Structure 1
Amino acid sequence: MLLLLSAFSLMLLSPFVEGAGRLPAPLNDEVLGLIAFRSVLEDPLRALASWNEADATPCKWSHVECDAATARVVRLSLASLSLSGPLPRGLDRLAALESLTLAGNNLSGPIPPGLSLIPSLRSLDLSRNAFSGRLPDDLALLPSIRSFDLSFNSLAGPIPDTLFSSSAAGATSGSLRYLSLAGNRFEGPLPSTLPQCSFLLQLNLSDNKLSGTPDFVNGIWPLSRLRVLDLSRNSFSGPIPDGIDNLPNLKDLRMSHNQFSGAVPAGVGLCPHLDSLDLSFNSFEGRLPDSIGQLSSLTFLSLSNNQLSGEVPAWLANLTAVEHLDLSNNKFTGALPASIGELKNLNHLSLSNNMLTGAIPDAVAECTKLSELRLKGNRLSGSIPQGLFNLGLEVLDLSSNELTGAMPPGSTRISETLHSLDLSANQLTGALPPEMASYFSLRYLNLSWNELRTPLQPAFGLFRYLAVLDLRNSKLYGTIPGDLCESGSLSVLQLDENDLSGPIPEEIGNCSSLYLLSLSRNNLNGSIPAPMAELRKLEILKLEFNNLSGEIPQSLGYLDNLLVVNISHNRLIGRLPVGGLFQSLDGSALQGNLGLCTPLVMEPCKMNVPKPLVLDPDLYAHGNGSNMVTVDGATNPIVVHRRKFLSVSSMVAISAALVIASGVLVITLLNMSARRRIVQLENALESKCSSSTGSAVPAAVGKMVVFGPKSDLKSDDMVGSAEALLAKATEVGRGVFGTVYRASIGDGRLIAIKKIHGTNTLQYHDDFDREVRILGKVKHPNLMPVRGYYWTPQLQLLISDYAPHGSADSRLHESTLESTPPFSWPDRLKVVIGTAKGLAHLHQAFRPPIIHYNLKPTNILLDENGNPMVTDFGLARLLPKLEKHMASGRFQSSMGYMAPELACQSLRVNEKCDVYGFGVLILELVTGRKPVECRDDDVVILIDQVRLLLEQGNALDCIDARMGEFPEEEVLPVLKLGLVCASQIPSSRPSMAEVVQILQVIKTPVLERMEAF
């Protein structure tokens, strides 16, 4: 209202102002236009604070640039200022505006009409926002536009033909030089009017849903001035028709991740200025056209993931400028041509996963600038050329071939640069060269599945940054060196299926970064070293099929992150560690030992304890003043005084009785003290119970229990405000199982109180106490701990920590504040991995396993660092005692998350139900869409939609564009994992422990994917 009054006042006063020779009217219009523009925007950084409607001109405002001669606004640069809201009006008053940049903000809603009213606009950049809807028709009327960038928004629908129409005088097509619509959701064919943009130099339509027949490019070939063409990551299909040679100025051609088929067009070699060509991830077949050998300016060539065949052409040597050459994942045959050595500028060479044979030519070492060489998955034979280890390689992958001989010694140059070395699955023999000790930069080393037949050398401990060491099945012998973990960076150590002997070194505790330790199927002996308990990050421990003996250190029970343990087929005895995963291991992980004390192993239980002294009572009658003492089966004379002593077993029993009695007394005193401290809180809760139930019958006496003793929530924390605890509680959410309140305790901390719904539930306190105490034992970084409970027959409450940072659901679907950063892929992957670890702990650490059963984004809370905290777990234990209408209602509340086998009458709740829900959770996090969406005339099931797109090769179409840039090599495997977990057949779903391992493989650099190095 104030803005309208100001505008109205200025309109009334403008004749007088002009008459006084002060501010010209057009400048007032610009001030008013920009103030109107700013008034609609949210500006959390106060980037536009200098915009003052009282100023006579906006030329001194921040982010505003005026023409020095006319004092008119010509440039408005508002990029990356965290502005949000719809795109406002008002800019049409800037008659001289030439450049408008709003990139990298949080602007949303449709692009409004009216931009065409700025006749002088030459550059418009609205990229990297959240604009949605269709393009307005009047954008075609921008008469002076040269650069037009709408990339990375959520615009949808077909690209209108009118956008490039030249029917109107001075329309867009006559002046346009740069156009980017990348990273949106445009669909359908290319507009028929595109050829009218005859001056277009750069066209980027990548990352959309555009499609077309084989003749789709006929609208592009007439654009003879075109220099950059990017059609990658769309759904174009069919063979590419002739005519690409009509683009003589083309420098960059990207058409990857489509469904093109047929032969690679020969005309591509007739674009003499081409320096980048990417046709990867299509279905091209046949031989490469010889014309590509004429592209002497080509620096980037990627034809990977097609069906190209024939021999690798010798004319590749003509591409003297090429730096990146990728022909991987095709069907090339024959030998690797020695002419590749002519490529002196080559930096990246990949011919992995073809059918190449013969030896690696020595000439490859003549590519002196080579930093990545990938020849994995061929049939190459012979020895490894010495010259390769004289280069400055960062990545060398020769795995899964038929190479023989010894590993060559390395030069000083490679020792300074090499990050990743994979020679696995070959037939290499001999000792490792001593020069390897100087590979200080090495992070990934895989020599598994070879015939090395050499001792395990201590030089591995010198690798300062080594994260992964894989030496499985390599015929290694000798002992494990103690200095293997001196660097402290090792996270994966795999020495399985060798001939290693001796004990596991005590120094294994120095491997503080280990999360996978696998020493199975060797000849290791001795006991499991106690320092292994220092491996706090350890998740997978495999020691099966060795000769380990003695008792398992009890301290291993404190390894909270353990998800997989296998100690079967050793000689272990005694008790299993009390805590952690060990008490829930199944028989297959324990069998084949001498005497573990567990009902899962049938062998007799043995304890490794000293034998006691045994006095022979028959010798007392001899009266000779001495007796015989049996020690470990040997009889020895000792002097015994004639005084009546208690037996050893009696003294032990008396001591134990005294200890137990003392403990009972101490616990009784502590309980009496705790009851006195929480009596006020119980009264307050009972008062709340009476008021909430509305019953005239006096409520039964309530019982408050706070779990401890290690809990940081104490009864006396709440004593000061016990009477007002629930009276001041604020409701924060409702579900079928209950209502959640936020309440403050004595020291100002917030807690969450869940009031369980139901009128006939849990009539007996002992039942409730037993089930909830099991939940109270759950301790894991990704599980919200249950701190305590309150019980009466009329009211049951669960107490836990309060999470002020919201849930994954609100972060994914309700995050509209401008101050909230985008829900990026790393943030989403953190939720996926953390949730998987939490569920795996519930399934593995308890017997019977704790089933979540109600997994969904609203039950995954986030801490200040975005780490997930799974809540509401274990309520399936209460399900048999709940009312039927609540069970059915619960299915409805988790629409799309209920495993299909639960639709029948018998509720077979097990771990596989959680795995199904976790799979749906992955799909929701990756796509940003609900599992079930009800539209006007249809119901869309997310699982079916994602599976269909994946089968069609269009999986990228379902990725949530709001998370910005993402690594495709992570997102797609995670998406596929979600579909596997959400299989309709329960037996086809992996366990959560296996899911965690798979996610670690996807997330951890260099495990099968060494590109990260």
Structure 2
Amino acid sequence: MASHHHPLLFPILALLTLFTPTLAAAIDEAAIPLLDEVFGLIAFKSDLIDPSSHLSSWNQDDDSPCSWRYIACNPATRRVSSISLDSLSLSGKLGRGLRKLTHLKSLSLSNNNISGSIPPSLGFPSLQSLNLSRNSLSGAVPASFLDLDSLKFLDLSHNLLSGPLPEDLFRNCSSLRWISLSGNSLEGSIPSTLYGCSALNTVVLSRNRFSGSPDFTSGIWSLSRLRTLDLSGNSFSGSVPEGVYRLRNLKEIRLQGNGFAGTIPWDLGLCPHLNRLDFGDNAFTGPIPEYLLRLGSLSHLSFSNNLLTGNLPDRISELTKLEFLDLSHNGLTGGIPSSIVSCSGLSVIRLRGNNFNGTIPDQMFTNLGSLVEVDFSGNQLVGALPPASPAFFNSIQILDLSGNQLTGHIPAGNGLISSGLKHLNLSWNDLHSTLPPELGYLQNLEVLDLRYSTVHGSIPADLCESGKLAILQLDGNSLSGPIPEEIGNCSSLYLLSLSHNNLTGSVPSSISKLSKLEFLKLEFNSLTGELPMELGALENLLAVNVSHNQLVGRLPAAGIFPSLDASALQGNLGICSPLLKGPCKLDVPKPLVLDPFANAGDPTRTRNRNPESPASSSSGHRMFLTASAIIAISAAAFIIVGVVVVTLLNASARKRLAFVEHALESMCSSSVSKSSGNLAGSRLVLFDSKSSSSLIRRHLTDDETNNPESLLSKAAEIGEGELGTVYKLPLGSTGRTVAVKKLDGSKIVQFADDFDREVRLLGKVKHQNLLSLKGFYWTPRLQLLIAEYAPNGSLQGKLHERGPSTPALTWAERFKILSGTAHGLAHLHHGFRPPIIHYNVKPSNVLLDADMNPKVSDYGLTRLLTQREESHVVVGYAAPEVACRSLRVSEKCDVYGYGVVALEVVTGRRPVEYGEDSVVILSDHVRGLLEEGNNVLECVDPAMGGSWPEEEVLPVLKLALVCTSHVPSSRPSMAEVVQILQVIRTPIP
């Protein structure tokens, strides 16, 4: 390293120090350490990338670094005491240069992009504050911190650190007061040496992978100076015992997002300074301890997503400083206490998803003028909406009362005009109200959800007067009249959903002005005419459904419309699409009928016709009508004859088929009865699917026909599921193979007619992405299903049971599987009324044919169960409403299962992964990465290598997270999933 002032100073000093200590001692004692610090900082700078030249003042020619930017020195010793390089967009790595700074007390490099590992040489004996937060540091936490006797502040949060913490990491921590390791991938248990850091007042270990049961009794509760404890977002388990009362200085305790269970310790109420208490997303049981209501300083209280029971105590009014209350998704009962209105500072109250009943307290919306969010959805509240004061409307931003039994009118009045309301959800109630015109004057309204709330009347023309509305959902009501042309004023709208109403008239062309629109749902109305061609210009449109209307004519030629699935168009009068089998009716004016005798070029015809002779005129007209009638009658006669002939042929064919089946069944029945003694009879039915049934019959021997159990002796077992065992059965020498599923008779209906009816219905289900059913065999003691065989096994095997020599699925294959699976499920949901719900969508029920095309299997088998319950659904794939019997189960539970499968396909991970003391739920893990702004693509299956397109993988991940929303109404339909996947694979130009 050259120097203009001292070109040979560094090597000379080094040599003198090494070989001539006497001479070195004679040199100015202050010069050497100062030059060492210059040398160390320049070396440190050389390992960094400084795109904005923030460190340009760091000059190697200087005798001292004390004048450099971001450097502070001790004025007495002129030694570097502090380095602060926060938020300078630095990258690179941490080199060894800093080890020269032996008097450094504070080092802060937060909010940069420094990568690599933390060098062991970073452990300075004099260091008191170290902040490396919000970088990209990786690897393990080095053991060099073991001897940091002087360290008071340590922040390594929001990096990529991994692995367990060394057990002796906090061996010498007598000075440590503040530590944060949040937002990494650290794992294992908390080192027991941490509990000996008696000076600690802040411990933040949140959002890692720590597991096990922390030592509360003799560990955490012994840190008497503790003010903040944050263990949230890990995989801790066990109970939280009493003893917290010893933390007299405790202000915040956050344990949310773990696996803690048991009751909530009552002595939390003995911590007088506690102002934040969050135990959400655990498995705590029992009632809310009354002692907690003595916490006069408490401002934030959350027990959401637990298993709490009992009532909300009336004494909640004693929490006079309470601002945030979240008790959502528990089993709380009783009424909402009217005393809650005494919490005058309350701004957020969430009671969603409990069993609260009764009415909403009358004064809640008048006395609490500080409320910003109210969420009482998913309860059993009754009565009318309480009156609200102007102060309430000015402060409230989110009002969600959906999923109750509320009645009465939607509130309207002067208070709404100046409202700060952004989100209004009154869906799934019994309001029997019209849409008040004042809704259009909500200046800040972004979400309006009134689905299935018995709203009637017309859609107000000025509903989008404010221009901020982004989501408008009015499905499932009794709205009538046309869609107003003024809907084009909703310039911010990206979701417009008006399905299942009585809307009439044409689809307004003004919808084409909604440039941000992504979802358009108009199905099950009485809309007429053609879809406006201008809709093809909507570049952001991802999903459209206009099925079951009275639409005709051509589809828009551009945008998403050419790629719409048939389920989005079916049930109309005559939409022109190759996907539809019905007639194509163009919406054009009726042709002008001219006088058939008028011919300007034929004067003879004109002369022979007397315009004043009615006999002549009517005679000619009668002749014209007679010709038309003759043509019509002839055509009708031809059609009738054809129908009769086809009917007779079909009847003959059915008789022959019935005769063959009857003979087979009789033979099988008599044979089995003889061999089985007291069996009530048997049925062998093979569905006629082209040549498949005849092929199967031809290659069944007499013994196999009479005793189908002998089939299984020749078959190879290839799988076992919740409802039975699957066998692979070759058919003679043909090379053809079928799959035979032996059902678990204890779970299956015991009446032959019931079994016959349900399986025949499933046999009619035909789709290229659904495993076709070939037939069945039934006796009281044996039930077999005969189905198409998929030679490439299941998606489960390809993802999770792959041998070391088997290549991993490519992204093209994975996308093909996801797309085909979505098509199959969409056919089950939208091709039948009522829809066929699978209830058990998972990788083992997605089979792969010889060309790796997916075939969804086991659909509709719940129809064969003796009790229609969902107990057979595997943990990890079951939607929340399946477990919660009080919620309506619909085809959206299949959408949830599909979303989990999509996450597995992208990540290669299982939906629930169990560690020794931890549980990781895949959907929560990926959602957390996305919400926290981390690189979610790091969770992509490494088995694919780097050969996958980010522009497809990332949207599929986001789609999967939408599908696994805990709120069923927030999930798309499978038809919409199909459309979105089509857009992902072939983006709109």
TM-score (norm 2): 0.62
Question: Could you tell me which amino acid in structure 2 is paired with residue 38 of structure 1?
Answer: K
Q: Verify the 8 A CA contact 1:18 1:25 in the aligned structure 2.
A: no
Secondary structure in structure 2 of the residue aligned to 1:174? coil
Question: Could you tell me which amino acid in structure 1 is paired with residue 113 of structure 2?
Answer: N
Which residue, out of 913, 916, 919, partners 1:952? 919
* 1:55, distance to aligned residue in structure 2 (A): 0.6
* 1:384, distance to aligned residue in structure 2 (A): 3.4
Q: Verify the 8 A CA contact 2:376 2:402 in the aligned structure 1.
A: no
- Alignment correspondent of 2:589: 609
Q: Does 1:114 align with 2:124?
A: no
* 1:971, distance to aligned residue in structure 2 (A): 14
Secondary structure in structure 1 of the residue aligned to 2:192? coil
Gaps of 5+ in 1: 166-171, 391-410, 638-847, 851-887, 926-930, 932-940, 983-987, 1001-1013
* Range with bigger deviation, 5-14 or 426-435: 5-14
Is the alpha carbon distance of 1:573 and 1:448 closer, same or farther for their aligned partners in structure 2, counting shifts above 3 Å?
same
Is the alpha carbon distance of 1:474 and 1:197 closer, same or farther for their aligned partners in structure 2, counting shifts above 3 Å?
closer
Q: State how far apart, in whole Å, the 1-side matches of 2:905 and 2:68 are.
A: 44
Q: Which residues of 2 match residues 593-742 of structure 1 at below 5 A?
A: 593-598=572-577, 600-603=580-583, 605=585, 607-612=587-592, 614-617=594-597, 620=602, 625=607
Deviations 1:667-707 (A, max 9, x none): xxxxxxxxxxxxxxxxxxxxxxxxxxxxxxxxxxxxxxxxx
* 1:480, distance to aligned residue in structure 2 (A): 3.3
Q: State how far apart, in whole Å, the 2-side matches of 1:479 and 1:294 are.
A: 51
Deviations 1:173-212 (A, max 9, x none): 2211112222222222222222321222211222222222
Is the alpha carbon distance of 1:446 and 1:335 closer, same or farther for their aligned partners in structure 2, counting shifts above 3 Å?
closer
Which residue, out of 529, 539, 548, partners 1:550? 529
Is the alpha carbon distance of 1:78 and 1:578 closer, same or farther for their aligned partners in structure 2, counting shifts above 3 Å?
closer
What is the aligned length?
701
Secondary structure in structure 2 of the residue aligned to 1:194? helix
Deviations 1:875-906 (A, max 9, x none): xxxxxxxxxxxxx9995686976748686433
Secondary structure in structure 1 of the residue aligned to 2:850? coil
Deviations 1:930-959 (A, max 9, x none): x4xxxxxxxxx4346769999935558855
Secondary structure in structure 2 of the residue aligned to 1:65? strand
Secondary structure in structure 2 of the residue aligned to 1:160? coil
Q: State how far apart, in whole Å, the 1-side matches of 2:534 and 2:430 are.
A: 37
Question: Could you tell me which amino acid in structure 1 is paired with residue 461 of structure 2?
Answer: G
Question: Could you tell me which amino acid in structure 2 is paired with residue 262 of structure 1?
Answer: G
Q: Which residues of 2 match residues 153-164 of structure 1 at below 5 A?
A: 153-164=159-170
* 1:63, distance to aligned residue in structure 2 (A): 0.7
Q: Which residues of 2 match residues 328-727 of structure 1 at below 5 A?
A: 328-362=328-362, 364=364, 365-386=366-387, 389-390=388-389, 411=390, 413-425=391-403, 426-430=405-409, 432-435=411-414, 438-585=417-564, 587-598=566-577, 600-603=580-583, 605=585, 607-612=587-592, 614-617=594-597, 620=602, 625=607
Q: Which residues of 2 match residues 282-297 of structure 1 at below 5 A?
A: 282-297=282-297
Q: Verify the 8 A CA contact 2:326 2:349 in the aligned structure 1.
A: yes
Q: State how far apart, in whole Å, the 2-side matches of 1:127 and 1:904 are.
A: 50
Which residue, out of 35, 42, 48, partners 1:41? 48
Q: Verify the 8 A CA contact 1:590 1:601 in the aligned structure 2.
A: no
Which residue, out of 48, 72, 81, partners 1:65? 72
Q: Does 1:236 align with 2:224?
A: no
Q: State how far apart, in whole Å, the 2-side matches of 1:127 and 1:257 are.
A: 22
Deviations 1:540-573 (A, max 9, x none): 3333444433343333344444444343444434
Q: State how far apart, in whole Å, the 2-side matches of 1:481 and 1:263 are.
A: 51
Secondary structure in structure 2 of the residue aligned to 1:614? coil
Q: Verify the 8 A CA contact 1:137 1:160 in the aligned structure 2.
A: yes
Q: Does 1:133 align with 2:139?
A: yes
* Range with bigger deviation, 425-434 or 903-912: 903-912
Secondary structure in structure 1 of the residue aligned to 2:334? strand
Q: Verify the 8 A CA contact 1:187 1:211 in the aligned structure 2.
A: yes
Q: Which residues of 2 match residues 819-968 of structure 1 at below 5 A?
A: 899=817, 904-908=849-853, 931=907, 941-943=908-910, 952=919, 954-955=921-922, 958-959=925-926, 965-966=932-933
Is the alpha carbon distance of 1:948 and 1:493 closer, same or farther for their aligned partners in structure 2, counting shifts above 3 Å?
farther
* 1:136, distance to aligned residue in structure 2 (A): 2.5
Q: Verify the 8 A CA contact 2:370 2:395 in the aligned structure 1.
A: no
Deviations 1:81-117 (A, max 9, x none): 222233211323222211111222222222222233x
Question: Could you tell me which amino acid in structure 1 is paired with residue 960 of structure 2?
Answer: G
Q: Does 1:151 align with 2:151?
A: no
Q: Verify the 8 A CA contact 1:573 1:608 in the aligned structure 2.
A: no
Q: State how far apart, in whole Å, the 1-side matches of 2:315 and 2:216 are.
A: 31
Q: Verify the 8 A CA contact 1:491 1:513 in the aligned structure 2.
A: yes
Secondary structure in structure 1 of the residue aligned to 2:114? strand
Identity %: 44
Gaps of 5+ in 2: 620-766, 770-805, 818-842, 858-895, 940-954, 965-970, 984-989
Is the alpha carbon distance of 1:476 and 1:627 closer, same or farther for their aligned partners in structure 2, counting shifts above 3 Å?
farther
Secondary structure in structure 2 of the residue aligned to 1:218? coil
Question: Could you tell me which amino acid in structure 2 is paired with residue 57 of structure 1?
Answer: S
* 1:58, distance to aligned residue in structure 2 (A): 0.6
Question: Could you tell me which amino acid in structure 2 is paired with residue 419 of structure 1?
Answer: Q
Q: State how far apart, in whole Å, the 2-side matches of 1:423 and 1:628 are.
A: 77
Which residue, out of 7, 11, 18, partners 1:8? 11
Q: State how far apart, in whole Å, the 1-side matches of 2:959 and 2:68 are.
A: 52
Is the alpha carbon distance of 1:193 and 1:529 closer, same or farther for their aligned partners in structure 2, counting shifts above 3 Å?
closer
Deviations 1:467-519 (A, max 9, x none): 33333444444443333333333333333344444333333333333333333
Question: Could you tell me which amino acid in structure 1 is paired with residue 192 of structure 2?
Answer: S
Question: Could you tell me which amino acid in structure 2 is paired with residue 383 of structure 1?
Answer: A
Secondary structure in structure 1 of the residue aligned to 2:162? strand
Secondary structure in structure 2 of the residue aligned to 1:114? helix
Is the alpha carbon distance of 1:514 and 1:35 closer, same or farther for their aligned partners in structure 2, counting shifts above 3 Å?
closer
Q: Verify the 8 A CA contact 1:916 1:989 in the aligned structure 2.
A: no
Q: Verify the 8 A CA contact 2:230 2:253 in the aligned structure 1.
A: yes
Q: Does 1:978 align with 2:984?
A: no
Q: Verify the 8 A CA contact 2:301 2:324 in the aligned structure 1.
A: yes
* 1:281, distance to aligned residue in structure 2 (A): 1.3
* 1:123, distance to aligned residue in structure 2 (A): 1.1
TM-score (norm 1): 0.61
Is the alpha carbon distance of 1:27 and 1:919 closer, same or farther for their aligned partners in structure 2, counting shifts above 3 Å?
same
Is the alpha carbon distance of 1:993 and 1:622 closer, same or farther for their aligned partners in structure 2, counting shifts above 3 Å?
same
Q: State how far apart, in whole Å, the 2-side matches of 1:893 and 1:352 are.
A: 40
Q: State how far apart, in whole Å, the 2-side matches of 1:624 and 1:995 are.
A: 63
Is the alpha carbon distance of 1:109 and 1:962 closer, same or farther for their aligned partners in structure 2, counting shifts above 3 Å?
farther
Secondary structure in structure 2 of the residue aligned to 1:173? coil
Deviations 1:287-324 (A, max 9, x none): 23332233222222212211111221233232222222
Q: Which residues of 2 match residues 50-199 of structure 1 at below 5 A?
A: 50-116=57-123, 118-165=124-171, 172-199=172-199
Q: Verify the 8 A CA contact 1:286 1:307 in the aligned structure 2.
A: yes
Q: State how far apart, in whole Å, the 2-side matches of 1:596 and 1:195 are.
A: 72
RMSD between aligned residues: 4.6
Q: Verify the 8 A CA contact 1:190 1:216 in the aligned structure 2.
A: no
* 1:51, distance to aligned residue in structure 2 (A): 1.0
Question: Could you tell me which amino acid in structure 2 is paired with residue 139 of structure 1?
Answer: F
Is the alpha carbon distance of 1:273 and 1:163 closer, same or farther for their aligned partners in structure 2, counting shifts above 3 Å?
same
Question: Could you tell me which amino acid in structure 1 is paired with residue 42 of structure 2?
Answer: I
* 1:61, distance to aligned residue in structure 2 (A): 0.5
Is the alpha carbon distance of 1:434 and 1:103 closer, same or farther for their aligned partners in structure 2, counting shifts above 3 Å?
closer
Q: Verify the 8 A CA contact 1:297 1:321 in the aligned structure 2.
A: yes
Q: Verify the 8 A CA contact 1:285 1:309 in the aligned structure 2.
A: yes
Q: State how far apart, in whole Å, the 2-side matches of 1:478 and 1:990 are.
A: 27
Q: State how far apart, in whole Å, the 2-side matches of 1:428 and 1:330 are.
A: 25
Is the alpha carbon distance of 1:275 and 1:891 closer, same or farther for their aligned partners in structure 2, counting shifts above 3 Å?
closer
Secondary structure in structure 2 of the residue aligned to 1:156? strand
Is the alpha carbon distance of 1:75 and 1:331 closer, same or farther for their aligned partners in structure 2, counting shifts above 3 Å?
same
